[in-house]
Amino acid sequence: MTKMMNDFEHTFSEQNSAPLWAQELLAEMKAIRQLLETQRSSKKSYDFYDFVNAFRKAMQADTINGRYPDVEVEGSRFGITRAGLLYDKSTSKEIGRTEAFAIYKILYEQHKRRPLF
């Protein structure tokens, strides 16, 4: 992907007026590259994934006892669906994987400072 990205950047950096689709594609490719490099360099430990699994279990609704836990992150309230997916409580929409793991990362950092459960 790096060679293709470099070729693409080189082709369109020479032109002052690259088409809008090319500019958008280049911006998206840069964002993807940055995410991949971050993932490669940080190599999250198993502790993070253990936290995510434990968090999902702890946050699942208990409909029999009327327990519907939620957590607030950056002004939004989130819960866990029966399938174990993160969702926004105000809209009832499931959160995409990338955004969900960004939220889990914030929660994990909080959990390292002061255990959440």
Model pLDDT for residues 65-93, shown as the tens digit of each residue: 989 999 999 999 999 998 899 999 999 99
Integer Cα distance of 10 and 48 in angstroms: 38
* Residue 38 vs residues 1, 5, 75: alpha-carbon distances, Å: 15, 17, 26
Is there a single domain that holds both residue 56 and residue 105? Answer: yes
- DSSP secondary structure letter of residue 82: T
Is there a single domain that holds both residue 69 and residue 96? Answer: yes
Is there a single domain that holds both residue 64 and residue 93? Answer: yes
Find the domain containing 15 and state its range: 2-42
Is there a single domain that holds both residue 53 and residue 84? Answer: yes
Is there a single domain that holds both residue 96 and residue 54? Answer: yes
Is there a single domain that holds both residue 102 and residue 54? Answer: yes
Give the pLDDT band of residue 45 (cuts 50, 70, 90): low
Is there a single domain that holds both residue 109 and residue 53? Answer: yes
Sorted by sequence, the CB contacts under 8 Å of residue 68 that are 6+ apart come out as 61, 62, 79
* Number of domains forming the structure of the chain: 2
Sign of CA dihedral 45, 43, 69, 75: positive
pLDDT of residue 71: 95
- DSSP secondary structure letter of residue 114: S
Is there a single domain that holds both residue 54 and residue 101? Answer: yes
pLDDT of residue 43: 58
